[in-house]
Structure 1
Amino acid sequence: MKPRDLIELLVLAAIWGASFLFLRMGAGEFGPIALAGLRVIGASLFLLPILAHRGEWPALKANWRAIALVGIANSALPFLCFSYAALAITGGLSSIFNATTPLMGVLIAWAWLGDKPGGHKMVGLAIGFAGVLWLAWDKASFKPDASGASSGLAVLACLAATLMYGLAASMTKRWLTGVPPMALAAGSQLSAAIVLLPLVLWRWPDVPPSGHAWGAAIALALLCTGVAYVLFFRLIGNIGSTNALSVTFLIPGFAIAWGGLFLGEAVNATMLVACAVVLVGTSLVTGVWRPRIGSRAGVETRDTAG
């Protein structure tokens, strides 16, 4: 990985970590539906001209049905879930649950595509979900607060979002392998925008949102979705998908830092330790970390079953 690639990886992690800050800033005034809708509408307006400039409209037209389904699973529903979660739990906590996306992806691929995990991946799944259960148990309150949300439902919403991300990954692998990334990114945001637009009009807030809330919504759409997608696919092209996915491990740190810096969100020991457990499990599942196991003869061998 070149120094410039490392810098871009850190920038991407900072941007996606900031998305949880902006969700917290905008969800209360816009509501989850309107905020999620504005996010995908704005991202569509940003990405579609790039798609046209690159001459990849034919790829979108040829695969629009599958891309539309991926857009619902990968953007519309997860963005709704994380917007709801922002009403009741901190951005740092949401980002830790978001880090379980690779775990969900492995489970969905196993159940749907028959890609059975082996070796360290099975251990990683067990460790990762142990951390999730620990965090969820710590926040297991289903009593609504003043916003009408509860921390328990917020946790379930985060996990539902990561499940949708995992489903979208398998859908992409099965139906859209070889499709240009920008066609997939722009098309999925467009389909999510079309789905959410009627709901946005129905649930538009009665009280006009403040300038701060509008700023958060615009940042979510243009920076955390539009620019982030372009940067992410650029990294995939430069350093490969596995290295680009290592951004997963950096996002919680930035999300916790932004929340503490700008919103005064507190971090407790349980949250930090459980985060470490989740990231250890995720590193095993993604293959970022593959511990060496000594054989009986004392020679180290690497487990490649996963």
Structure 2
Amino acid sequence: MSTANLFRLVLLAAIWGASYLFMRIAAPVLGPAVLIEYRVVFAALFLAVIALLTKKPLHWKRHWKHYVILGFFNSALPFLLFAWSARTLSASVLAVLNATAPMWGALIGAVWQRQMVSPRVLVGIALGTAGVALLVGFDHVSSRDGAGLAIAAALFASFNYGIASTYAKAAPAVEPFANAHGSMWTAALMVLPSLLFFPAPGEPTTGIMAAAIALGVLCSGVAYLLYYGLIRDVGATSALTVTFISPLFGILWGALFLHEVVGWYTVAGAAIVIAGTVLVTGYRPGFGGKANLA
């Protein structure tokens, strides 16, 4: 991998890691529904501009069902769940919980294909479970009111990413940019009804709105462009190493900007979860291993 592509990979991990920071900042004020509606609308508008400039059609009539499924399982529902959890959990904990998505994907894929899970994958899942247990067991946020439900919601969000990745493997072949663009519009429509049940609990400041815009344009729109560009230039296997790096940035940004405590359990839990993810995905640098991106 060239220096330029390595820089793009690290930049992408830093951007996706920042999504937990922005949710932690904005969710307590805007609420999960308003924040995520902002996120998917801003992302859809940004990607629409790119689509117009690059003349990339969506072919709505042919692929609308596909966009609906992706929009629900890969965006609308998990985004809402993570934003709901962000009112209680730290950015560090959210980042590590999100890293369990490939493990859910491996389990769902095995059930879907009616195949036995390999011993390597079982060890990876066991490690991931142990890492999450270590993190939430020692982190002080687990003692907050509602932390248990927030942790369950974040894990269920990752579970939905696993459903989306399993579906995508058997879905009709659609250009990757169109997947991102089309699913953002369908997600925007699906999140709309939730605004009736989760209105914004506070008045947004300029900083809160900046976080919401960054979450949509930067963490969804720009990140998708970087990700698919890396797939084109270095291949899917190398591009998906971002799965192992982004949780580290989630922890870093939380510590730097929100003054979150990074204890030994944070580092150890994240390392164990990442090790489990590597085993589950079967990633081996330079050997064409497969990985799933949350």
Q: TM-score, normalised by structure 2?
A: 0.90
Q: Does 1:205 align with 2:205?
A: no
Alpha-carbon contact 1:121-1:285 (below 8 Å) kept: yes
Q: What amino acid is aligned across from residue 125 of structure 2 in structure 1?
A: L
Question: Cα offset for 1:228?
Answer: 0.5
- The aligned residue for residue 18 of structure 1 is 18
What are structure 2's unaligned runs of at least 5 residues? none
Alpha-carbon contact 1:91-1:255 (below 8 Å) kept: yes
Alignment deviations for residues 129-148 of structure 1 (CA, whole Å, 9 cap, x no partner): 22223334446988764xxx
Alpha-carbon contact 1:26-1:216 (below 8 Å) kept: yes
Alignment deviations for residues 222-268 of structure 1 (CA, whole Å, 9 cap, x no partner): 00111001111111111121211111111121111111111111111
- The aligned residue for residue 293 of structure 1 is none
- The aligned residue for residue 218 of structure 1 is 213
Between Structure 1 and Structure 2, how many residues are aligned?
Answer: 289
Q: For the structure 1 residues 61 and 54, does the alpha-carbon distance in structure 2 shift closer, same or farther, using more than 3 Å as the test?
A: farther
Q: For the structure 1 residues 244 and 263, does the alpha-carbon distance in structure 2 shift closer, same or farther, using more than 3 Å as the test?
A: same
Alpha-carbon contact 1:59-1:179 (below 8 Å) kept: no
Give the 5 Å matches for 1:5-44: 5-44=5-44
Alpha-carbon contact 2:81-2:154 (below 8 Å) kept: yes
Q: What amino acid is aligned across from residue 242 of structure 2 in structure 1?
A: V
**Aligned counterpart in structure 2 of residue 169 of structure 1, from 165, 168, 172:** 165
Question: Cα offset for 1:30?
Answer: 0.1
- The aligned residue for residue 95 of structure 1 is 95
Quick one: distance in 1 between partners of 2:256 and 2:144? 27
**Aligned counterpart in structure 2 of residue 154 of structure 1, from 150, 154, 160:** 150
Alpha-carbon contact 2:30-2:201 (below 8 Å) kept: no
Alpha-carbon contact 1:91-1:256 (below 8 Å) kept: yes
Q: For the structure 1 residues 64 and 221, does the alpha-carbon distance in structure 2 shift closer, same or farther, using more than 3 Å as the test?
A: same
50-59 or 263-272: bigger deviation: 50-59
Alpha-carbon contact 2:78-2:161 (below 8 Å) kept: yes
- The aligned residue for residue 260 of structure 1 is 255
Question: Cα offset for 1:210?
Answer: 1.0
Q: What amino acid is aligned across from residue 196 of structure 1 in structure 2?
A: V
Quick one: distance in 2 between partners of 1:116 and 1:61? 38
- The aligned residue for residue 83 of structure 2 is 83
81-90 or 124-133: bigger deviation: 124-133
Structure label with greater radius of gyration: 1
Q: What amino acid is aligned across from residue 175 of structure 1 in structure 2?
A: A
* 3-state SS, counterpart of residue 267 of structure 1: coil
- The aligned residue for residue 294 of structure 1 is none
Question: Cα offset for 1:55?
Answer: 3.5
Alpha-carbon contact 1:60-1:183 (below 8 Å) kept: no
Alignment deviations for residues 247-305 of structure 1 (CA, whole Å, 9 cap, x no partner): 11111211111111111111111221111111111111122249xxxxxxxxxxx9x9x
Question: Cα offset for 1:83?
Answer: 0.6
Question: Cα offset for 1:197?
Answer: 2.0
Give the 5 Å matches for 1:205-284: 205=200, 207-284=202-279
Question: Cα offset for 1:213?
Answer: 0.7
Alpha-carbon contact 1:76-1:192 (below 8 Å) kept: yes
- The aligned residue for residue 45 of structure 2 is 45
Question: Cα offset for 1:2?
Answer: 1.4
Identity, % of aligned positions: 40
Q: Does 1:191 align with 2:186?
A: yes
Q: For the structure 1 residues 56 and 280, does the alpha-carbon distance in structure 2 shift closer, same or farther, using more than 3 Å as the test?
A: same
Question: Cα offset for 1:205?
Answer: 2.2
* 3-state SS, counterpart of residue 240 of structure 2: helix
* 3-state SS, counterpart of residue 203 of structure 2: coil
Q: TM-score, normalised by structure 1?
A: 0.87
Give the 5 Å matches for 1:58-137: 58-114=58-114, 116-137=116-137
Question: Cα offset for 1:115?
Answer: 5.2
Q: For the structure 1 residues 60 and 8, does the alpha-carbon distance in structure 2 shift closer, same or farther, using more than 3 Å as the test?
A: farther
